[in-house]
Amino acid sequence: MAESETSVDGFVEDAASRLPVTKVRDMVEIGHLVSSIKGRDRGRYYLVVGIISQSMVLVADGEERKVEDPKRKNVRHLHLFNVIAGEVLNKALSGRRVTNTDIRREIKSLTETK
């Protein structure tokens, strides 16, 4: 993964995806697109599927980390993109089951270059 660059508007941009990143950690929501910046999963994209506390979240990618066994991550070890997966958020809020297919589809659609 390429180095991050700070843009004029105060956001940090990931050179690979050019999606704006925010540094405000208390704004994390279910469905947020994140990427790992620490650990052996560095550079991998996830969606937030649960919030443990202000500093800890549960993330899944639908492949290595399934919804049934999400990874605990410290938010300081994540890039938070200003993108929320609407389908995942809507399903979670309505109490419907979020599937691994939903997670994979949303990550692919949010991260593919246009």
What are the pLDDT digits (tens) for 54-89?
889 999 999 999 999 999 999 999 999 888 888 888
Using the predicted structure, report yes or no on whether residue 107 has a pLDDT greater than 90.
Answer: yes
Give the structural domain span for 56: 4-111
CATH number at residue 46: 2.30.30.30
For residues 91 and 11, which has the higher predicted lDDT (pLDDT)? 91
Q: Based on the structure, what is the number of domains in the chain? A: 1
User: Which is higher by pLDDT, 103 or 21?
Assistant: 103
Residue in 10, 18, 59 with CA at minimum distance from that of residue 39: 59
Residue 29: what pLDDT? 87
Q: Which helix (H) or strand (E) holds 35?
A: strand 32-36
Q: Residue 47: pLDDT above 90? A: yes
């899944």: which residue's tokens? 60
Phi-psi region of 108 (alpha: psi -120 to 50; beta: other; left: phi over 0): alpha
